[in-house]
Amino acid sequence: MATPKVLLFYAFTPLADPEAIRLWQHTLCDSLDVRGRIIITKDGINATLGGDVVQLKKYVRGTRAYAPFKHIDFKWSEGRAREDGTTADFPRLSVRVRDELVTFGAADELELDEHGVVDGGTHLTPAELHALVEAKEVVFFDGRNQIESAIGHFAGAVLPPVETTREFVAALDSGAYDHLKDKPVVTYCTGGIRCEVLTPLMKHRGFQEVYQLDGGIATYGEAYGDDGLWEGSLYVFDDRITMDFSDHTALVGSCDTCETPTNHVADCGDVSCVRQMVRCSTCLDDRELALCSRHMVAS
Residue 84 in this model has a pLDDT that exceeds 70 = no
pLDDT of amino acid 191: 92
pLDDT at 87 over 80: no
Is residue 139 pLDDT above 60, yes or no?
A: yes
Q: What percent of the chain has pLDDT over 90?
A: 78
Question: Is the pLDDT reported for residue 288 higher than 80?
Answer: no
The answer on pLDDT for 167 being more than 70 is: yes
Distance between CA 144 and CA 163 in Å, rounded? 9
Active-site annotation, residues: 189
Which of 260, 257, 263, 245 lies closest to 292 in space, CA to CA?
257
Give the whole-angstrom CA distance, residue 202 versus residue 137: 19
Q: Could you tell me if 251 and 232 are in contact, meaning their C-beta atoms sit under 8 angstroms apart?
A: yes
pLDDT one-digit tens code per residue, 45-78: 999 999 999 999 999 999 999 999 999 999 888 8
**pLDDT tens digits, one per residue of 3-26:** 889 999 999 999 999 999 999 999
Does pLDDT of 85 surpass 70?
no
